[in-house]
Amino acid sequence: MDFIIGTSGHIDHGKTTLIKALTGNSTDRLPEEKKRGISIDLGFSYFDLPSGQRAGIIDVPGHEKFVKNMMTGTFGMDMILLCIDCKEGVMPQTVEHLDILRFLNKTEGIVVLTKRDLATDEETEKTIEQVKELVEGTFLENCPICEVDSISKRGIDNLIQMIDSESKKLKQKHAERDYRMNIDRKFNVKGIGTVVTGTLLDGDIHKGESFIYPIEKDINIKNIQVHNKNVNVAHPSQRVALNINLNLDEIDRGFVIAKKNSLKAFNMIDVRLTLLESASPLNHWDRVRLFHGTKEIFGRVVPLDKQVIQPGTQALVQIRLEEKIYAKTSDPFILRQFSPQVTIGGGIIIDGSVRKHKLFDEEIIENLKIKEEGKIKDIILNYLQDEIFPTKIDDLVFYSSESKDKVLKELDGLKQEDKVVIRNDKVLEKEAYLKLLGKLKMFVISFHKTNPLLPGINKEELLKKLQLDDDRPFFNYMIKDLIDQEVLMEESGIVSSTGHKVKLSDEDEKIRKKMLQDICQNQFDKLLKIDNVVHNQKDKTILGILLQKDVVILRDNFLISKKCYDKFIKTVDDHFNKNKTLNVKELKDMLNISRKSAITLLETLDIKGYTKRIENDRVKVKDFK
């Protein structure tokens, strides 16, 4: 398993020299870095371990002015090398870097005491005591401590063995999740084009189509390199270089490459924040700098469960951002004071929010605590409880930050418990489903009361009344459910209550027969319009009855009998089975009708989307129903 090592520690505590001793390469690449002898931006290299594993390594700057760059590199690290000068001991950025790493939920690391040849035994022992006090209660408590001198290579072999051994404790990254890579570098290669690099957080990434946020553009990954070698696929915890089809000036550090629709944009996030003991109290609407992935975003703090967040305490907070963030549940973040720029805290993102929250809203606080606990079943039910329409299963996958397989397994269990209803790619809580069924029944009953002479309501009209245009499979399932319960019945797309019958009076039956006779008498020619047969409200109702089974409306409100319309459709369908195009003259001759009627019939097919006119011909667009 490949993994990423990251250095951390105070300026001039030997991080870059240590990496050169491990890999043979210097990670200082900028002219100013070489001139000044300090790291300013991130550096990258790799080396092979005795076990055969390949470790990527990220070198971060230690100067307080470049903490922003340091944080950019830390999000993808799996193992930390906290570098401390044996002679100088613990320094301010040693502490700040460790605080940052704690908030990023790092779990494995080694304390590396550098420049051993320049320190006495007493100085080294003193530094070891400082280290033990510093790491107490952190993920580095009880971690290995290795003394090295990178110039003489003293202790380097021992450190490599420690790294190899500690790597066995690393947890496997989520290859089954959608891939995601935060961009930390961009550059142009002559003859190749734009290249971006980053650490792959989740999922496998392949060459081909992809997507870039926040500019939300489709991109093509033309080539992938891992450790300077071309590959067809890259895996989580690998340093990855992607050759993409965008101009360099379209991209910036902090952009994200991920599967299309796998990330959502939020201007507000709900978080669990821990404030450092060294920080000042945090108040409502304090301006802060939020670091997530490789991006810095300004925002305002809105406490939810306490009025003022005191140093050393935790709180539920909504952060209202000044630009969009593309994040997932459980992503870590770092918070820095707006000015002066010092690290004040960090935590995890619980949820992306679309609603502004208020202080002490018990329902919001309870919902956030449920999601924070991370039980998939509770998260799903919590999400669905306020939904009155079917929810996409992919939305639950995003909301839970779990793999689709895990979400589907949990949904199957909830279905067995009769707590949810699932149709195709959508799900609805059972209680909400029953309420929707009730609305459907009431719409049908109400229609019968208003239109006693009609056999029922058109299925498409019912679909729109329920606002389920985008949920047709769910709607059809509901109709079938009520038919199975013998509550409703359906015939030719007309839905009615079971047992409902239309009984026309003798007078109304005479009107119906006469109207149908008038419409049918001329078949295709001399077509009547609605205004020719409807003169009052009763006529309108009776025409509605005829439109259920016996009559079809054409373009410009012309009427034709269903029998003639079916003959017309069959004639056209048979023609298209043998020919690619159809024109007015051909239809006129086939049906022996006037040119005017042929035009009306063909334009009706255009309006219904069955055909498309190209100059004087029609071509078939979709199958005739």
The CATH number of the domain holding residue 28 is: 3.40.50.300
Q: What is the mean pLDDT of residues 214-239?
A: 95
Q: Which of 211, 178, 177, 155 is nearest to 21 (CA)?
A: 155
Q: What is the mean pLDDT of residues 571-585?
A: 95
Q: How many CB atoms lie within 10 A of CB 470?
A: 11
120 and 9 share a domain?
yes
303 and 401 share a domain?
no
- Asked if 291 and 371 count as a contact pair (C-beta separation under 8 A), the reply is no
- pLDDT reported for residue 25: 78
Grade residue 453 by pLDDT with cuts at 50, 70 and 90. confident
134 and 252 share a domain?
no
- pLDDT reported for residue 65: 64
Residue 426 lies in a domain: no
Q: What is the mean pLDDT of residues 518-538?
A: 89
Give CA–CA dist 359/269, Å, rounded.
15
Q: Could you tell me the two tokens for 34? A: 């070489």
Sheet holding 420-423, edge to edge: 391-392, 426-429, 420-423
Give CA–CA dist 584/569, Å, rounded.
14
Q: Could you tell me the two tokens for 409? A: 């397994």
Q: Which of 206, 298, 194 is nearest to 248 (CA)?
A: 194
253 and 142 share a domain?
no
- pLDDT reported for residue 206: 97
109 and 79 share a domain?
yes
CA angle 273, 277, 278 (to 5 degrees): 115
The number of distinct structural domains making up the chain is 6
- pLDDT reported for residue 35: 45
11 and 111 share a domain?
yes
Pairing type for strands 239-244 and 256-258 reads: unpaired
Give CA–CA dist 5/237, Å, rounded.
10
- pLDDT reported for residue 230: 95
363 and 385 share a domain?
no
Whether pLDDT at 62 is above 60 = no
Q: How far is CA 6 from the centre of its chain?
A: 28
Contacts 24+ apart (CB under 8 A), 432-438: 432/384, 432/387, 432/388, 432/389, 433/478, 435/388, 436/388, 436/389, 436/466, 436/478, 437/478, 437/481, 437/482
Q: How many CB atoms lie within 10 A of CB 164?
A: 15
Pairing type for strands 551-553 and 145-147 reads: unpaired
Grade residue 451 by pLDDT with cuts at 50, 70 and 90. confident
The CATH number of the domain holding residue 600 is: 1.10.10.10
477 and 582 share a domain?
no
Grade residue 505 by pLDDT with cuts at 50, 70 and 90. confident
**Residue finishing a domain among 480, 497, 514:** 497
For tokens 């939810």, name the residue: 304
Grade residue 26 by pLDDT with cuts at 50, 70 and 90. low
- pLDDT reported for residue 543: 87
Residue 8 lies in a domain: yes
Residue 174 lies in a domain: no
**Residue finishing a domain among 119, 144, 169:** 169
Grade residue 455 by pLDDT with cuts at 50, 70 and 90. confident
- pLDDT reported for residue 99: 93
- Asked if 204 and 179 count as a contact pair (C-beta separation under 8 A), the reply is yes
- Asked if 49 and 164 count as a contact pair (C-beta separation under 8 A), the reply is yes
Q: Could you tell me the two tokens for 591? A: 């049906």
Whether pLDDT at 64 is above 70 = no
Grade residue 111 by pLDDT with cuts at 50, 70 and 90. very high
Q: Which of 562, 585, 576, 586 is nearest to 612 (CA)?
A: 576
The CATH number of the domain holding residue 246 is: 2.40.30.10
453 and 555 share a domain?
no
Residue 625 lies in a domain: no
Whether pLDDT at 539 is above 70 = yes
Cα maximum dimension of the chain: 116
- pLDDT reported for residue 63: 56
Mean pLDDT rounded to a whole number for the chain: 91
152 and 21 share a domain?
yes
Contact partners, residue 300, CB within 8 Å, separation at least 6: 285, 286, 287, 288, 319, 320
Q: Could you tell me the two tokens for 434? A: 């029953």
Residue 603 lies in a domain: yes
519 and 608 share a domain?
yes
Give CA–CA dist 601/603, Å, rounded.
6
Question: What is the full DSSP assignment across 503-532?
Answer: ---HHHHHHHHHHHHHHHTTTTSSPEEHHH
Residue 422 lies in a domain: no
Q: How many CB atoms lie within 10 A of CB 152?
A: 11
Convert the pLDDT of each residue in 170-186 to its tens digit: 987 777 788 999 999 99
Pairing type for strands 180-189 and 233-234 reads: unpaired
pTM above 0.75, yes or no: no
Q: Could you tell me the two tokens for 580? A: 């690619």
- pLDDT reported for residue 34: 44
- Asked if 37 and 90 count as a contact pair (C-beta separation under 8 A), the reply is no
340 and 291 share a domain?
yes
Convert the pLDDT of each residue in 272-284 to its tens digit: 999 999 999 999 9
Q: Which of 614, 611, 152 is nearest to 622 (CA)?
A: 611
- pLDDT reported for residue 607: 94
Whether pLDDT at 29 is above 60 = no
Question: DSSP H helical segments within 232-375, as ranges?
Answer: 362-373
Q: What is the mean pLDDT of residues 398-404?
A: 86
Whether pLDDT at 30 is above 50 = no
**Residue finishing a domain among 389, 415, 441:** 415
- Asked if 401 and 483 count as a contact pair (C-beta separation under 8 A), the reply is no
- pLDDT reported for residue 491: 87
Q: How far is CA 428 from the centre of its chain?
A: 19
Q: Could you tell me the two tokens for 576? A: 């298209």
Convert the pLDDT of each residue in 122-151 to its tens digit: 999 999 999 999 999 999 999 999 999 999
- pLDDT reported for residue 28: 52
- pLDDT reported for residue 66: 59
Residue 421 lies in a domain: no
Convert the pLDDT of each residue in 306-321 to its tens digit: 999 999 999 999 999 9
What domain range includes position 196? 180-258
- pLDDT reported for residue 525: 84
Convert the pLDDT of each residue in 236-272 to its tens digit: 999 999 999 999 999 999 999 999 999 999 999 999 9
Q: What is the mean pLDDT of residues 427-446?
A: 96
**% of the chain at pLDDT higher than 70:** 96
- pLDDT reported for residue 347: 97
**DSSP secondary structure code for residue 466 in this structure:** T
Residue 520 lies in a domain: yes
